[in-house]
Structure 1
Amino acid sequence: MSRLSLASIFLSSLAVAAPSLAQPATDSELLEEIRQDVSADRIEKDIRTLVGFGTRHTLSETESETRGIGAARRWVHDEFQRISDACGGCLEVYYQSDFIEGEKRIPERTEVVNVIAVQRGTVDPGRYVIMSGDIDSRVSDVMDYKSDAPGANDNASGLAGALEAARVLSKHKFPGSIVYAGLSGEEQGLFGGRIMAAKAKKDGWRITGVLNNDMIGNIEGINGVINNTTARVFMEGTRMNESADEARARRFRGGEVDSPSRNLGRYVHRIADEYIPNLDVMMIYRLDRFGRGGHHRPFNDLGYPGVRIMETNENYNRQHQDLRTENGIRYGDVIEGVNFDYAAKLTSLNALTMAALSKAPAPPARVTIEGAVSPDTTLKWQRGSAGDDKVLAGYKVYWRLTSESTWTHSRYVGNVDEYTLEDIVIDNYFFGVAAVSKDGFESPVVYPGPAGAFYLEESGQD
């Protein structure tokens, strides 16, 4: 697979889409440095440590220093703090919690505790991109909090990825803020994600994207396929909290396949294509696996862009299983089922995506489009944040046939707030706009109207 730069791959288009201005070149050396810095050995060490707590069930032991969810979350907190100490205190590390009771899977009053580490942006600290992994684990009976539940792949792999991303990215500075999150209560009802999403909304976080990593270490599928070269990205379509007026507008103007989550997923796909050798991303137009859920969903529920990144071929013998051997088949989520090089590859995908998103300006705001019964299409927009003038170079308009899954045509148009594509008929394409930094990093593409807006206050959903 070719490894074109972010700048060059999106300039490929038909002759009519040739750029009239030169876009700044992407700092691809930074992204390559980050990719090479991700260590499979460190990820393996972290997964083994997490497995060593015996069980990390949400209802398990909290007082022991060696077993249970309490010991595990304290270790995660200490590890984030060690990473922060190594970068001169660049991370804000804290616990975040709430008490849950009266739920089917948490009947008694229980404190569900997340561990959060925030790397503040230097220019626009109120803009966030989040990578999450789950602390908790389980066996066959979701209420069994005493049996060993190693949770090596589900989800020590995702949590170890978040820790490793923090180690690597904390060596660099970014205009936007990056958050590394260890979330609890996932197996009992996505409670850690609910707690964090609600707090983010209360505090007014402008979230460009949530990258939920849930099972990123298995390459041997229940279907017999062994594959370490693909990954899946699940991404919902229409926002759950879309208003009736917005739904009516979308019916006539489109946007079903261009929610912010979908365009975040396309961004992840683009990073894999350009910077991760031997990795193809399968974009799946669904919130999650059929009838199932993950910790990006609570963020999606509140209107935030979020996707799930995970392995392509799952092995159900290793998920939510008591440790046992039956008919020659070994069941259980044990360390032997994790491929550490593959986990490192998907961790690299996350780290590079967060680096590019945080280096880029905020996505353009209030994007509109016009061109009905006209040979031309005009896009208009506003800057995404007050700090953009320090990093912003200009904007780039995109378009694609309505049957295409990724953006195929683009034109860098400079530091303007509107642009007309002459002789490109609005009826035949989908359109969007991205912001470009002075060092060539792009924001996700924003589809016109509330259906594509990245921040809640821009979509009428605040």
Structure 2
Amino acid sequence: MPEQSAGTPRRPRRRTVLTSAAVTAAAGVPLIASAGPAAAAAGGRGRESGGGAATAQAPDRELRKLLKEIDADRIEATVRRLAAFGTRHTLSVQDDPERGIGAARDWILAEMKKYAAVSGGRMTAELQSYIQEPASRIPVATRITNVVATLRGSVTPDRVYVVAGHYDSRVTDVMDATSDAPGADDDASGVALVMELARVMAKWRPAATIVFTAVAGEEQGLYGSRYAATQFRTAGVDVQGMFTNDIIGSSRADDGTRDPYTVRLFAEGVPTSETPAQANTRRSVGGENDSATRQLARFVSDVGDNDATGMNVRVVYRRDRYLRGGDHIPFLEQGYPAARFTEPAEDFAHQHQDVRVEGGKQYGDLPEFCDFDYIARVTRVNGAVLWTLAQAPGTPREARIVTSNLTNDTELKWAPGTEPDLAGYEVVWRETTEPEWTHVIKVGLATTHTVDLSKDNVFFGVRAVNRDGKRSPVAFPMPGN
């Protein structure tokens, strides 16, 4: 890909979307939206023409206003401050006020408390600590501390969404706790995103709860996020979505090319937490591509891929990159929908490299190699997603497709939602070869609906809608009665 400057217009997106307009017409389904070029005559728009999937949600005035508050200069200042602690290695000193992970921890907490102070009591900021006994990459008992800011929802506070970045850093030798490890891209960039969203959203009033967390111990083995995910599960917290932002600081690849308007989102298929029997059931009905995490990824594309963010979201159907993993994985292991944002390609000449100058070239994960406008755009994607999730109804529960009778239609059922502003539900469907939902059917406040299409031929889902027109992620129905 040729070099692109920061002022280059947003790269147009190409995504082929096939439709079933002919099947729909023959079946008489009350269609309210469809996607793809063939659906243009029916009012649908494909991404090629600036529209989106049938489930896409355009940003409203409120969301646009929120996203405009995201400040690239503040993000840059945060990245530079975190890099200035010298090293943030998990095994580095914790009681030095100027250097090491302890100094970084205390600074992040102090900043989060400043944000909380203007929230009208809705946000709290605290440390979440535990002692990690000797284990892989942990030679001695070590205190692992996450910094957590919680913005409590005003309508359904028990429904929670989490956004994270890891504030520990490393050099080539993962056990070197003393050398300079500025960790600007990996992962001061992700922590700066989390902190900027906490700063902006502290002044707003979400319906559901949003948790902003900077975790530690990632480079040593995802220790901080594993503790956080376990604490959520032990407490029975209803985490309906988690995103980690790890290495989101640059659009530059190791061959020098740039893609400054794309962010990757890694999303796994068959959930890690499912039993073998559950996984086999999912595979038997073709649900490998319809986990809660994959539905969350589709939601990200629906609300975060538009002119308000200036970004293309490239969803990758994998848990993570080869040979590596991120802080979303412990949440997946606990059964929570979780995905990883990361830059479009990586420049390995700087990632995890020791700070040095060779042949007149500077190496190391330094702020100079970050693109702060790019980080701001990725922050807007996260902001659009988190705010829409928090303001929309929760994902429908207990969605099932009735398979007790041999019929050529499809009966769907789901549990009623409890949101006070719930306006109804929509059934969505697509061909089994389609990556995105192509058709939407309004069904009102009913919690059961029969569609005159064979369940053998297409995939179905259901989503909730509130009075403001905001839609939840889609729930994929599993076989049942």
Give 3-state SS (helix, strand or coil) of 1:128's partner: strand
What is aligned with 2:457? 428
What is aligned with 2:229? 197
What is aligned with 2:116? 84
Choose 375-384 or 118-127, whichever is displaced more. Answer: 375-384
Question: Which of the residues 379, 383, 386 maps onto 2:416?
Answer: 383
- CA shift for structure 1 position 185: 0.3
Deviations 1:301-351 (A, max 9, x none): 111100001110111111111012334543210011110110000001111
- Closer/same/farther in 2, CA of residues 68 and 17 from structure 1, 3 Å limit: farther
What is aligned with 1:130? 162
What is aligned with 1:374? 407
Give 3-state SS (helix, strand or coil) of 2:240's partner: strand
Residues 115-264 of structure 1 mapped to structure 2, 5 A cutoff: 115-264=147-296
What is aligned with 2:93? 61
Amino acid of the structure 1 residue aligned with 2:129: S
Choose 435-444 or 187-196, whichever is displaced more. Answer: 435-444
Deviations 1:173-224 (A, max 9, x none): 1111000000000000000001100100111110110010001111110133
1:410 matches 2:440:
yes
Question: Which of the residues 341, 349, 370 maps onto 1:317?
Answer: 349
- CA shift for structure 1 position 274: 3.4
Give 3-state SS (helix, strand or coil) of 1:307's partner: strand
Give 3-state SS (helix, strand or coil) of 1:382's partner: coil
1:419 matches 2:419:
no
Distance 2:293 2:78 in 1: 30
The answer for unaligned runs of 5 or more in structure 2 is 1-9, 13-18, 34-54
Give 3-state SS (helix, strand or coil) of 2:146's partner: strand
Amino acid of the structure 2 residue aligned with 1:19: I
Amino acid of the structure 2 residue aligned with 1:31: L
What is aligned with 1:307? 339
- CA shift for structure 1 position 252: 2.4
Distance 1:190 1:249 in 2: 30
- Closer/same/farther in 2, CA of residues 83 and 12 from structure 1, 3 Å limit: farther
Choose 280-289 or 166-175, whichever is displaced more. Answer: 166-175
What is aligned with 2:376? 344
Amino acid of the structure 1 residue aligned with 2:431: L
Question: Which of the residues 66, 87, 91 maps onto 1:34?
Answer: 66
Contact 1:398/1:432 (8 A) holds in 2: yes
Contact 2:292/2:337 (8 A) holds in 1: yes
What is aligned with 2:5? none
Give 3-state SS (helix, strand or coil) of 1:256's partner: helix
What is aligned with 2:106? 74
Deviations 1:4-37 (A, max 9, x none): xxxxxxx9976545239xx9x9771111111111
Distance 1:226 1:340 in 2: 14
- CA shift for structure 1 position 382: 0.6
Amino acid of the structure 1 residue aligned with 2:477: P
Distance 2:59 2:362 in 1: 47
- CA shift for structure 1 position 373: 4.1
Give 3-state SS (helix, strand or coil) of 1:77's partner: helix
Give 3-state SS (helix, strand or coil) of 2:143's partner: strand
Give 3-state SS (helix, strand or coil) of 1:60's partner: coil
1:449 matches 2:449:
no
Q: What TM-score results when the alignment is normalised by the length of structure 2?
A: 0.87
What is aligned with 1:290? 322
- Closer/same/farther in 2, CA of residues 27 and 334 from structure 1, 3 Å limit: closer
Identity %: 42
Deviations 1:419-444 (A, max 9, x none): 1112x221221111111111111111
Distance 2:350 2:359 in 1: 15
Amino acid of the structure 1 residue aligned with 2:238: R
- CA shift for structure 1 position 376: 1.6
- Closer/same/farther in 2, CA of residues 276 and 309 from structure 1, 3 Å limit: farther
What is aligned with 1:392? 422
Distance 1:231 1:2 in 2: 12
Give 3-state SS (helix, strand or coil) of 2:288's partner: coil
The answer for unaligned runs of 5 or more in structure 1 is 4-10, 452-462
- Closer/same/farther in 2, CA of residues 242 and 158 from structure 1, 3 Å limit: same
Amino acid of the structure 1 residue aligned with 2:227: I
